[in-house]
Structures are given as C-alpha cells and as structure tokens.
Amino acid sequence: MNLALFQNENILSQSDERIRVCLKNRQHEHIVKIQKLGPGREIQIGLLNGNMGRGLIVEQDQDSTTIEVSLSSEPPAANPIKLILALPRPLMLKRVLQSAVSMGVKEIHLIHSNKVEKSYWQSPQISDEEIFQQALLGLEQGVDTVLPKISKHLRFRPFVEDQLPELIENHKAYVAHPSANAKSAKACQQDCYLAVGPEGGFTDYEVEKFEQAGMQTLSLGPRILRVETAVPVLLAKLAN
C-alpha cells in the first residue's frame, strides 16, 4: 500500500481543504502492522477517483486510524493501453489485475475463449466486489486513484463480432499471438487495444476473428511467457 485510498464513506468531516478520514480493517491493519505508523506520522493518501496528497495521522485505536488529509496533486496519467484478456484462472486473475492496474491500465475486458475453463466464470474471485477489491489493491500499489473500467464478456463471438469492431474503431489494436506475419511489439505512443490469450493461447479460429475485427497479430519472439509475465512485458513494450 504505497497510497491509502479512501472513499466518501471514510470521510468523517470536511472543511475548506482539510478532510478528516477514518480507515479501518485491511488499511488500518496495514498502517499499524506493516508500515508501523501512528499519530504524528505522515502517509500518502488519495480519494478514490479524486486527487492525492499527504495525510497526517491524528488518532489511532485498535480498530481504526484517523487521518487529516489535504489533497494537492492529481493522479498520474493513464496507461494508453486498453486490455482484452482471456479470463485467467482465478488465482492468476488476481495477480494480473493487480499488476495491470498498478501500471495504470484503465480499461480491461475479461473475455471467454476456447481454452478458458467455463467454471472460472463461476468463481467467487470474479465477482464484481472481488474485482473491485483487486483494482483497489492495484491502485494502492501503483499510487493512483482512478478506478479502471473492468467488464466481463462471457461469450466470445458476440464480443468479437458485435462489440469489438466498434470498440477499436480509430485505435491501433493488437492480438498477442506468435504467427508468421506477426509484428514485433514496439511502442505505439497512443491509445491502443491489446488482446492477450489464455495459457495455451488463442485458437487459430479466434485469432482469425480478431483479425477480421481489425486487429493485427503481435509477437514476443520465440519464448512463450505465462500470462502474468506476458501482460507486464507487453504493456512495457507498447506503452514505453
């Protein structure tokens, strides 16, 4: 937690530029046990979807930490890459979401694909509440306040045929896939869409559908990376 994110429900009082905020549960525990911070100490803090700044811890008891906050700076620029991600298995999803959000990605589409096990969609890890929690952790890691838009698309064809062409209109759009005519990943310097397959990759049929929708294949070379490695690597290469 490099930034403590608070929400409106955490606000105790507000006057001029001073906001008094009360943090409980995970955030309180982290401040006490990991950061070992108490009254009189400063902490980096931000309002969800708002500005960031420094907070002064003014009170602390067993269950909560009260912080006086002044929000003076804007969150960092968004990552220009928007992700289309074949739903990873639940435990990996948590790590991939956190790392993509910590890198500033603001739009993530979780999609079905041939090699995604159908049961993953039933996992409690992909409930809206759980995804929201992972996004918060990613923002707190990456020192950012702007919540990404994360959507779920349980059927491949309706997504790729009906929604994707409109989504990527006027954008560069890539699907990561080692194919003969794949481009190698280079910085795109502008908003673009990137689709990343499941472990085992997209099927040839799926790649063809992405290409029909207007995407180009993009290669990372002969090495095959796990999704949790491929996503940061591709984001690093494309966003530069």
Q: Is 221 in the site for a second copy (CB under 8 A)?
A: yes
d(C-alpha 138, C-alpha 195), whole Å: 20
d(C-alpha 172, C-alpha 185), whole Å: 12
- The contacts of residue 60 (CB under 8 Å, 6+ apart) are 31, 32, 38, 39, 66
Q: What is the DSSP letter of 160?
A: I
Residue 96's CB is within 10 A of a number of other CB atoms, namely 26
d(C-alpha 29, C-alpha 201), whole Å: 40
Count residues near a second copy (CB under 8 A): 27
Q: Point out which span in 17-25, 96-104, 120-128, 156-164 binds a second copy (CB under 8 A).
A: 96-104
Q: Is 222 in the site for a second copy (CB under 8 A)?
A: yes
**205 phi and psi angles, rounded to 5 deg:** -60, -45
d(C-alpha 85, C-alpha 108), whole Å: 7
Dihedral angle computed from the Cα positions of residues 185, 188, 192 and 194, in that order, rounded to the nearest 10 degrees: 10
- Distance of closest approach, residue 48 Cβ to a second copy, in angstroms: 17
- Distance of closest approach, residue 199 Cβ to a second copy, in angstroms: 10
- The contacts of residue 29 (CB under 8 Å, 6+ apart) are none
Q: Is 147 in the site for a second copy (CB under 8 A)?
A: no
- Distance of closest approach, residue 230 Cβ to a second copy, in angstroms: 8
Span between the terminal Cα atoms of the chain, in Å = 25
Q: Which CB sits closer to a second copy, 33 or 223?
A: 223
Q: Is 98 helix (H, G, I), strand (E, B) or coil?
A: helix
Asked whether the beta carbons of 216 and 175 are under 8 A apart, the reply is yes
Q: Is 32 in the site for a second copy (CB under 8 A)?
A: no
- Distance of closest approach, residue 220 Cβ to a second copy, in angstroms: 9
Q: Is 95 in the site for a second copy (CB under 8 A)?
A: yes
d(C-alpha 1, C-alpha 28), whole Å: 11
Q: Is 66 in the site for a second copy (CB under 8 A)?
A: no
- Distance of closest approach, residue 4 Cβ to a second copy, in angstroms: 13
Q: Which CB sits closer to a second copy, 66 or 102?
A: 102
Q: Which CB sits closer to a second copy, 160 or 195?
A: 195
Q: Is 143 in the site for a second copy (CB under 8 A)?
A: yes
Q: Is 229 in the site for a second copy (CB under 8 A)?
A: yes
Residue of 60, 99, 125, 134 that binds a second copy (CB under 8 A):
99
Binding mask 74-93 for a second copy (x = CB under 8 A): --x-----------------
Report the interface residues with a second copy, using CB under 8 A: 2, 76, 95, 98-99, 102-104, 141-144, 221-226, 228-229, 232-237, 240
